[in-house]
Structure 1
Amino acid sequence: MFTKRLYFENAYIKEFDARVLSCEEGKNGYEIVLDETAFFPEGGGQPADQGYLEDGEVTDVRDKKDYVLHICTKYLEPGSMVHGKLDWNRRFLHMQQHSGEHILSGIIHRTHGYDNIGFHMGKDFVTVDFSGLLTEDEIAEAEKMANTVVFADERILAEYPGKEELEKLEYRSKKELDGDIRIVTVPGADVCACCGTHVKRTGEIGPIKVTSSEHYKSGIRLTLQIGWMALGDYDRKQRNVKAVSNLLSAKPEEIGEAVQKQLEQMQELKQENITLKQRIFDMILKETPEGQEKAVLFEKGLNSVEVRRLADMLSSRAGLAAVFSGSDSEGYKYVVCSGDKDVAALGKLMNQELNGRGGGKNPMIQGSVQAEERMIRKFFEELY
């Protein structure tokens, strides 16, 4: 079987008619082969097209070398003529992203000599992996150069050069290729072997924005927003900026400074809170008589570190010090300390009797219990 690939001739074909060569039921739907198709199969980092064959939904498209396999929700009679319709919005987004990636990858290869070693076109963003590291300034410069190419509205060419011409041509390729090689050229930016679909002119790509970068293997991974997806990303971030601006009563361009002031104030309040709690802990310690057998204390609003610190302080006054913080409805976190009692065994008993989790080794255990305060107090009263 052989499928003519219409998307190589014209990536802008949205609808077409074709003959069904075969149709067999598979694991994920009916597997259909046509004599020609405008549906692009997954390949080279670009996802497969989706759409319809008649009123059957095409959920996936796969490249089988000589033919293209369409995964469809409806059985189509072999030999019949069918009408195909692409999900054009999805396809065009892929064309924008693929063409935009070519431009940025070509520029980084030309200016820094790095190869594109990984490309993934996701639902919400594009990632590209390069074989070397880039500084933030270098990334910003490459992004600026890429958008300059977009604004120039250059024509993107997709051609099959002859053998002699191909041997003289310098082009990017991720792997060794044989047979007819399709070369995609973006003037001033990139020359690359590629089987994907692209826009006709760079002006159709829209903005190219690097939104983040991270070290990946021995190089760098860039996350990109391109075309309509970039505008969608900008809209989401703009709404967030507006919301933060309103919450802070600050102009959008001043929210960074406003957040910094909030963080400084929070740090001051945090330090004040630590100081006040230490005073409370000191007062509790003074009010706890020395030499008592046990001290079971409930204090609201303590974090795990504070619970432990208070229990440790109380253990200098009592044979057993137990500190709980929480509520009857949500449970209590605890720390129990003792220099002469087996608190490890106590922890196991608490887990059984008080629906607890946690434990530890003598002289300290910690964890949480799902029980009311009165039940916890009763447990310690009956035990000691």
Structure 2
Amino acid sequence: METEKLYYQDPYLTAFTARVLSCEKSKSGWAVVLDRTAFYPEGGGQPADHGTLGAVRVTDVHETKGVIFHTCDGPVEIGTQVAGAVDWLRRFDHMQQHSGEHILSGLLCSLYHCNNVGFHLGADTVTIDYNAELTWEQVMAAEKAANEVIWQDTPVDITFPAPDALARLNYRSKKALTGQVRIVAFPGADCCACCGTHVRRAGEVGIIKVLSCQKFREGVRLEILCGSRAYRYLSQVYDQDRAVAQLLSVKPQDTLAAAERQAEELVAAKQRMTELEDQLFSLRAQALTDRGDLLLLEPPTRPDGARKLADAAAKASGGLAAVFAGAEFSYVYALVQADGADISPLVKRLNAALSGRGGGRNGFAQGSVQADRTAICDFFRKEGIECPTC
């Protein structure tokens, strides 16, 4: 016997009673079948409802050949009447997300002739796949139109048309349908075959916000939020913008311009720091003229700093310049041999002794070691190379 679907009669129904027809142990708990239910089973991209049946929790719901199975964390007695309670916050969240997706997809279809070919209502966001490419400007235009539909707050029309009426109806559907077809219509936006739960009026969706539009297969994938999810997201974004505005000492609406100025100043400062560091390397190298092989231990520097100092020092000293930049037990190194001679044997010994990684060729090597200052100095002292800063 097929289960009576109370969620179609009233998607706002959260409390009901039903007779227990069967209860069997399953891999994920107990599979309970009722004569009727307000619990929506997973389907059409919409997750299942959660809630309780008597004293046990309903953790999943699915439908097979018209029979709805409730996965529970405990058994219920067959033949008894049981009180069901649907988690309303979860149900209404799903209604907002699903209804918002319909409004947006219907408008994208009518505006840009693209079809919704995939829908997933996730725990955090909703993803929708379309079979045509869309620009961000087109998506934003559709988002604006979708929110205008919400503001009009028109009633949602849900029907089961007769076959002849259905044949004359222009509606969206991902696949060919047989039997009784449920049509969900948002006036001015969408008319679509759907098995999910929806709001009574468009205004209950609250707001639709598109987060991203990325190329996916032959079309695009949108990530959206609706209703309370969109409100929480926009509140978080505003709080972050307000905090950034306080850091930059500007009004929230001026944070972008202020951040751009800060970025430009940072680029200029980094460029100036590089120039000054290069000048410092040159001055350091001048003091090492004709010193031969040497080791230099330096504080942390920019990514190419060790190599640049090693180049300058090797040219000035006429020998091997080994520069280690870092602190405590983490150093990067650059080794340069002035005459370009092979230093790979030294590098192999260095890596073995100092837990290092790296290599090179033609008189140059670079890498990193997990060793402290003392261990580095001791290794090079054994190699006959002194460190002016040790």
* 3-state SS of paired residue (1:78): coil
**Does the aligned pair in 2 maintain the 1:172–1:191 contact within 8 Å?**
yes
**Alpha-carbon distance in 1 for matches of 2:24, 2:170:** 44
Q: CA deviation at 1:188?
A: 1.1
Q: CA RMSD in A?
A: 1.7
Number of residue pairs matched? 382
Match of 2:380 in 1: 380
Match of 2:64 in 1: 64
Q: CA deviation at 1:361?
A: 4.4
Q: Which residue identity lines up with residue 337 of structure 1 in the other structure?
A: V
- Give per-residue Cα distances to partners, 1:255-276, cap 9 Å, x unaligned: 1111111111111111110111
Q: CA deviation at 1:360?
A: 4.1
Q: CA deviation at 1:362?
A: 5.1
Match of 1:193 in 2: 193
Match of 1:289 in 2: 289
**Alpha-carbon distance in 2 for matches of 1:25, 1:311:** 72
Q: Which residue identity lines up with residue 29 of structure 1 in the other structure?
A: G
**Alpha-carbon distance in 2 for matches of 1:45, 1:284:** 66
- Give per-residue Cα distances to partners, 1:54-103, cap 9 Å, x unaligned: 12121111222321222211111222221111110011011011111101
Match of 1:357 in 2: 357
Q: Which residue identity lines up with residue 37 of structure 2 in the other structure?
A: T
Q: Which residue identity lines up with residue 333 of structure 1 in the other structure?
A: V
Matched, 1:272 2:267: no
Percent of pairs identical after alignment? 43
Q: Which residue identity lines up with residue 251 of structure 2 in the other structure?
A: K
Match of 1:313 in 2: 312
**Alpha-carbon distance in 1 for matches of 2:211, 2:261:** 26
Match of 1:123 in 2: 123
Q: CA deviation at 1:156?
A: 0.8
Q: CA deviation at 1:342?
A: 4.6
**Alpha-carbon distance in 1 for matches of 2:35, 2:344:** 75
- Structure 1 window deviating more from structure 2 (37-46 vs 195-204): it is 37-46
**Alpha-carbon distance in 2 for matches of 1:362, 1:197:** 70
**Alpha-carbon distance in 1 for matches of 2:24, 2:290:** 85
Q: CA deviation at 1:184?
A: 0.7
Match of 1:243 in 2: 243
**Alpha-carbon distance in 2 for matches of 1:65, 1:334:** 68
* 3-state SS of paired residue (2:304): helix
* 3-state SS of paired residue (1:315): helix
Gaps (5+ residues) in structure 2? 385-390
* 3-state SS of paired residue (1:41): coil
Gaps (5+ residues) in structure 1? none
Match of 1:334 in 2: 333
Q: CA deviation at 1:173?
A: 0.6
Q: Which residue identity lines up with residue 315 of structure 1 in the other structure?
A: A
Match of 1:217 in 2: 217
Matched, 1:298 2:297: yes
**Alpha-carbon distance in 1 for matches of 2:23, 2:379:** 72
Cα 1:62–1:342 shift into 2, 3 Å: farther
Q: CA deviation at 1:291?
A: 6.5
**Alpha-carbon distance in 2 for matches of 1:24, 1:318:** 85
Matched, 1:234 2:237: no
Match of 1:11 in 2: 11
Match of 2:93 in 1: 93
- Structure 1 window deviating more from structure 2 (17-26 vs 139-148): it is 17-26
